[in-house]
Amino acid sequence: MPTDTIDIDRSIGDFVYPESHEFDAGYGLTADTINYISRVKSEPEWIREFRLKALDTFLSKPMPTHWASRDLEAIIFDNIRYYLANGQRPTRSWDEVPEDVKRTFERLGIPEQERKFLAGVEAQFDSEAVYSNIKKAVGEQGVIFTGSTEGLKNHPEIFRKWFGKVIPTGDNKFSALNSAVFSGGSFIYVPPGVKVKHPLQAYFRINAENFGQFERTLIIADEGSEVMYMEGCTAPKFETATLHSAVVELVAMKGAKIQYVTVQNWSANVFNLVTKRAVAHEEAEVKWIDCNIGSRLTMQYPGVVLKGRKARGEVLSLALASHGQHQDTGAKMIHAADETTSNIISKSISVGTGRATYRGLVHVPRHLKHCKNNTECDALLINQQSRTDTYPAITVRGTGNAAQHEASVSQVSAEQIFYMQQRGLTEGQAMSLSVNGFVNDLVRQFPMEYSVELKRLIDLEMEGSVG
């Protein structure tokens, strides 16, 4: 179905929100910006101080270009608006949305209302009904599921105890930036023994703040509880803002299980620089499922600090670096107790001039016993100019600890494509089939709705990679 058959009321798309200083911190970042954000959000004093301290840290830290991409230098911090409240994000008309983005919506079957939001035409997507049902259902179990601002205001006794503890402000330049200007994101507390049946989804809480640039998420799963959180969607998220820098902290208490699923498909102008880390206490399990498809440059390495005996950490990472993109992803596993195990499975696909980088940190200190790590890291190159790099840093000391690392780089061979073409598949279909085959065992572990959409998305990307 061609794009022009989409039946939309274009007058809605042409709507532009009035500028209002009440909810706009303006451009650039100074102490005034921080004070402004804190005042508008009516935050407690401790948070304002936390933010100001973080600003100092941010300003004092150099760009990590000694190891990371020099492309980071293209970020001009003075040209960024650090706070826009609900409804105050810049908008565009539907006509300004690039054709390929529209086509992708079409192919993924995204409902019209969501398309406009995702394309940045509308600032809000009203799914409050769906969201409040879930909120009600989990609320009855005593689960707190709210925004970060509400979390810090209404539940300070839990929030303060963990906020900024898993990822300290000074962890890196961008965690410091987030700590200074954060808004949006989720706060979740799951009481002991509660197993949350519904995956909690940021997707159902779509509004400007949630899909904002500097969201902050804190999830605490108390003893023996279980929760799954999903953020993002496979549909391209069209942004006018060029910097997205989130911080996500997870705490899994004794025997708790947390699964955190991210599907990132920002538009190709976005720097996506995210810090994600979890602490897993005794016998707890944390699993990050991280899928990066969009953005200009993504840098994120979800980590687990295995703090308690028999804690388990897992990262499943899938990156698709299309033409002009750089997906710099990976995982960190810090073993800090006996009998802890970690598993990292990373698959990347580089298309056109796309570049996929894997960075993995596995640390097992000398005094620990019976720790295990398994790392598998596979890269697939589609075109001649495609690029992949692997930087594993594995330090396993002491006796009785084991780590295994397997890495592979493969190419879809011309012979393979010819074989499939001889069976009647077009070159594009053949390419998507082999790429889907490459990621298949990983995608199978993703939640169903994501794996189906991912498959379609790969089909779409591959069609463009040939001929």
- Contact residues for another protein, defined by CB under 8 A: 413-416, 418-427, 429-430, 433-434, 436-441
Q: How far is the CB of 444 from another protein (least distance, A)?
A: 10
Closer to another protein by CB, 157 or 415: give it.
415
Considering only CA atoms, which of 219, 220, 165 is closest in space to residue 192? Answer: 220
| Ramachandran quadrant class, 232 (left: phi over 0; alpha: psi -120 to 50; beta: rest) | left
Q: How far is the CB of 439 from another protein (least distance, A)?
A: 7
Closer to another protein by CB, 86 or 451: give it.
451
Q: How far is the CB of 448 from another protein (least distance, A)?
A: 17
> How far is the C-alpha of 274 from the C-alpha of 300, rounded, in Å?
5
Q: Taking a C-beta distance cutoff of 8 angstroms, is the pair 220, 251 a contact?
A: yes
Q: How far is the CB of 436 from another protein (least distance, A)?
A: 7
For the chain, the first-to-last Cα distance in angstroms comes to 22
Tokens for 178?
């987030």
Q: Taking a C-beta distance cutoff of 8 angstroms, is the pair 180, 211 a contact?
A: no
Q: How far is the CB of 336 from another protein (least distance, A)?
A: 35
Considering only CA atoms, which of 118, 88, 74 is closest in space to residue 271? Answer: 74
Q: How far is the CB of 161 from another protein (least distance, A)?
A: 44
Please work out, in degrees rounded to the nearest 5, the angle formed at the alpha carbon of residue 373 by the alpha carbons of 390 and 252.
105
Q: Taking a C-beta distance cutoff of 8 angstroms, is the pair 431, 349 a contact?
A: no
Closer to another protein by CB, 49 or 441: give it.
441
> How far is the C-alpha of 343 from the C-alpha of 317, rounded, in Å?
11
Give backbone dihedrals phi and psi of 330, rounded to 5 degrees, phi first: 165, -145
Closer to another protein by CB, 269 or 421: give it.
421
Closer to another protein by CB, 96 or 427: give it.
427
Closer to another protein by CB, 299 or 431: give it.
431
Q: Please write down the long-range contacts of 58-63, taking CB distance under 8 Å and 24 or more positions apart.
A: 58/29, 58/173, 58/176, 58/177, 58/179, 58/180, 61/170, 61/172, 61/173, 61/176, 62/173, 63/173
Q: How far is the CB of 410 from another protein (least distance, A)?
A: 8
Tokens for 55?
């600003």
SS3 61: coil
Q: Taking a C-beta distance cutoff of 8 angstroms, is the pair 322, 297 a contact?
A: no
Closer to another protein by CB, 110 or 420: give it.
420
Tokens for 327?
């997906």
Q: How far is the CB of 109 from another protein (least distance, A)?
A: 15
Q: In this structure, which amino acid lies at residue 183?
A: S
Q: How far is the CB of 221 from another protein (least distance, A)?
A: 33
Closer to another protein by CB, 1 or 129: give it.
1
Closer to another protein by CB, 225 or 429: give it.
429
